[in-house]
Amino acid sequence: MVRCLLTEKEMPKTLWVEAAKWTNHVINRSFTKALKEMVPKKRWSGLKPKVDYFRVFGSIAYVHVPE
């Protein structure tokens, strides 16, 4: 999954660590057959994870710095 993220967005291999962190984050908030109708994050903490902040990996982002 990490290699797919980097290849799809034509990003340098130096961003491998960030791609691996994001992949782990997404997997922990995705359904799996092993847990049957539950995501790993909910199983671990008991809280339903929020995913409304998910964005496409490698998308353009802007930082707002207040004056």
Q: Token digits for 18?
A: 């960030």
Give me the chain's average pLDDT, please. Answer: 84
Quick one: pLDDT band at residue 17, thresholds 50, 70, 90?
Answer: very high
pLDDT (0 to 100) of residue 30: 82
Give me the mean pLDDT over the 63-67 stretch.
Answer: 87
**CA angle 16-29-39, nearest 5°?**
140
Q: For the chain, what percent of residues have pLDDT higher than 90?
A: 12
What gap in Å lies between CA 13 and CA 58, rounded to an integer? 13
pTM of the full structure? 0.66
Identify the domain containing residue 37 by its residue range.
1-67
**CA angle 12-24-46, nearest 5°?**
155
Quote the number of domains for the chain: 1
Amino acid at 22: W
